Amino acid sequence: MKRTIVLFSILFLGFFTLQAQDLKPFDPRSMWEMKRPGNPVVSPDGNWTVFNVGSYDIEESSGESNLFLLNNQTGEIRQITFSGSDSGPAWSPDSKKIAFISRRHDGPGQIYILDMSGGEARKISDLPVGVYGLKWFPDGNRIAFAANILPEYDGDWDKLREIRETKRNSKVTAKVTENNMYRFWDRWLTDEYVSRLFTIDLNTKETIDLMPDNGNFFGLMGGVSYDISPDGTTIAVSKNSTQPPFERTNHAIFLVPANGSGLLTNITADNPANDMNPVYSPDGRYILYGRQSIYHFYADKVVMALYDTQDGSIRTLTDDIDLSAEQWFWSENGRTIYFHAEDRAMKSVFSISSDGGPHTEVFRGGTNNGAALAGGRHMVFNHHNLSAPPEIYRLDLRRGHLDKMTSFNDEIVDHTNWGEIENITYKGANGADVQMFINYPPDYDPDKKYPLVMMIHGGPHGIFGDSFHFRWNSQLFAAPGYIVAMPNFHGSTSFGQDFAISIHGNHSELPFRDIMKAADYMIERGLVDEDRMAATGGSYGGYMVSWIAGHTDRFACLINHAGVYDLHLQFASDFSANREYQYGGSPWENKDQMNAINPAQFAENFTTPMLVIHGELDYRVPVAHGFLVYNIYKNMGLEARLVYYPDENHWILTPQNSLLWYDEFYGWLERYLK
């Protein structure tokens, strides 16, 4: 059995110099007081990094975002925007200007440009819709951007304003569709908006629609993934290629001429699964992108591939590497490709030759995002872990030395009494190795047995990783005096393709056995009191909580956030395609197999008290799941409590609602574990 004690990471041991009496347990309000630095955007000359920093006003239950500038050599940091609504920065090719998106004019987000030599930011665009995804053309005279528009505007922005105003004033509220996909997460898609790329000339302000015939969308989660060729003539963009009624989706890579001709060329039409994130090589010869192979498995491994723009051939780079790549980018000379990948419950940075071959681990530890080269020697990225919120770091690629460049949250971090983190591996279902983090309470006493809070992650193809989570934060759960266990059961990502796909067709059996063995492990080590254990989870984690309710009474209480209860209801979800593959059946075919893993079929076994939390705007797991399991509990005469949010979606995103969420969470645990 492998065990590793991780005291927050060596990066953060400095605060132990404080006296114990100066430290306090972590609490939800402190979490919401933390600043949230975004991913770094490095200037082309490597000298500067710009990034946005989010912050929240707890009393107003609102947030804001401003831009900050980091000198990559001296470490000096200064705030450069102050409107509270600035994001999405992009450097000009000469590193002298920053384009960004702002709503400071009290309207949809528009393009602003800030000259680094001084002066106020200038507003460049004035459109009736918000823009996103800014990129400069190599000549510095144009900026590309994305926007969601109504196709009938026909290139006339004034006409679009009139159409939008007419729709806003309409008394008709009905939603009408014949599509399989008609809503997503917390918004309806029946308004007929589609995604397109545009350019704006910085001198004339002329705006050109580059995709006038596109009646589709880029990504339903928002945002756009595209790149401009080094010669500025072509854009490679990832977008959905299927047509209504959208029985399934398939993101492909399209080439878009930058001259406005509107001709789109699908260069990955042969792949039935998703292709994503195209990035041109520095010489423009290749387009690096990611491709999946199994269209009905959203967590299928992403393999990096190279498209040759000269002959149209495609070769893959990471077929033989059991990592799912993301956030890839080229070295300046084009010989090396850097990428992120989840690996053993952490998100690390790797490199590989552009010719393929073995890969190299560049940096491991915690969760890292947005890596970018800052000159030939350094790399900057956003880093956080289970005991430290996000900050910007700089890695010396020659010496391996890591510097923490920002200190937005040091005051809170240094005065918090954090619980220790242990990284262990135990034997799960079928004798497989299962990784688990254990978060001990502050001032842990090894001579005592503590109540256990079992955290069950969502997905199911996801992880409870070494990351600072702003919704399910293990340090907050441990702070009142609980030991928190976070098993990465079968189906979890970052442990290889076979482990992730092992539950496809049966979401209950292997994860349930892994979770029960995790509880056994905690009891056998003498860490926890087996009479004071709680199981908690959201989304798929809530599914597993309901499954646990019908299959064991070993937990003193359960907490079910936005959880799947009845698999039949999941065919009312925003995206119901492919669920027959996930469940091994459907209401019209192999329904006995689907019902065999359906928590709703085992209500007669319910005894354990359950706290049910759900949001009205949750279209991924419709709110009826929460009402159904709660009503069944109450009609059975069992202990249950319902927390309903009429204005939240699958997640609780506003400070005041989140503080109530934690109050309810703590109250339920205290009622049954203390």
With helix as H, strand as E and coil as C, how does 14-52 read? HHHHCCHHHCECCCHHHHHHCCEECCCEECCCCCEEEEE
Band (234; pLDDT cuts 50, 70, 90): very high
Model pLDDT, residue 8:
37
Q: At 248, is the pLDDT very low, low, confident or very high (cuts 50, 70, 90)?
A: confident
Q: Quick check: 548 and 610 in contact, CB under 8 A? A: no
CA atoms 233, 239, 240, 244: torsion sign:
negative
Encode pLDDT of 399-455 as tens digits.
999 999 999 999 999 999 999 999 999 999 999 999 999 999 999 999 999 999 999
Q: For position 226, what pLDDT does the model report?
A: 98
Beta strands in 94-233 (DSSP E): 97-102, 110-115, 122-123, 131-136, 142-149, 183-184, 187-188, 194-201, 207-209, 225-228
Domain boundaries, the chain: 413-673
Q: Is the pLDDT of residue 55 over 90?
A: yes
Which two structure tokens, joined as six digits, stand for 204? 């004339």
pLDDT value at 492 more than 50: yes
Distance CA 53, CA 539 (A): 28
Is there a contact between 643 and 612 (Cβ–Cβ < 8 Å)? yes
Is the model more confident about 469 or about 674? 469
Q: What confidence score (pLDDT) does residue 17 get?
A: 44
Contacts of 218 (CB under 8 A, 6+ apart): 146, 195, 224, 225, 237, 238, 239, 240
Is 491 within 8 Å of 458 (Cβ atoms)?
no
3-state secondary structure of 476: helix
Rounded to the nearest integer, the mean pLDDT of the chain is: 94
Residue 382 has pLDDT above 80, yes or no: yes
> Cis (ω within 30 of 0) for the bond into 128?
no
364 burial via Cβ count (<10 Å: 0-12, 13-18, 19+): middle
pLDDT band at 21 (very low <50, low <70, confident <90, very high): low
> What is the residue type of 634?
K
Please compute Rg for the chain using Cα positions: 25
Report pLDDT for 12.
Answer: 40
**Can you give the pLDDT at residue 576?**
84
Mean pLDDT value across residues 143-157: 94
Give strand pairing partners of 379.
Answer: 373, 395
Confidence class of residue 654 from pLDDT cuts 50, 70 and 90?
very high
Cβ 299 vs Cβ 500: under 8 Å: yes
**Shortest CA distance to 650 belongs to which of 563, 568, 541, 583?**
563
Would you say residue 674 has pLDDT above 60? yes
What distance in Å separates the CA atoms of residue 329 and residue 351, rounded to the nearest whole number? Answer: 10
Tokens standing for 535?
A: 């199981």
| Span of 182-196, 228-242, 249-263, 653-667 with lowest mean pLDDT | 182-196
Return the CATH architecture of domain 413-673: 3-Layer(aba) Sandwich (3.40)
Q: Tell me the backbone φ, ψ of residue 118, rounded to 5 degrees.
A: 130, 175
Q: What percentage of the chain carries pLDDT values higher than 90? A: 90
Residue whose C-alpha is closest to residue 560's, from 655, 482, 628: 628
Task: State residue 220's pLDDT score.
Answer: 78
Q: Does 561 score more than 80 pLDDT?
A: yes
- pLDDT at residue 393 tops 90: yes
Structure tokens at 181: 């996909």
| Residue 140 pLDDT > 80 | yes
Q: Can you tell me whether residue 66 is helix, strand or coil?
A: strand
> Quick one: what percent of the chain has pLDDT higher than 70?
97
pLDDT of residue 13: 39
- pLDDT on residue 7: 35
Name the pTM for this structure: 0.94
pLDDT of residue 523: 98
Q: Which pLDDT score is estimated for 384?
A: 98
Please state the φ and ψ torsions of residue 150, each to the nearest 5 degrees: -95, 125
Whether omega for the bond prior to residue 480 falls within 30 degrees of 0, making it cis, is: no
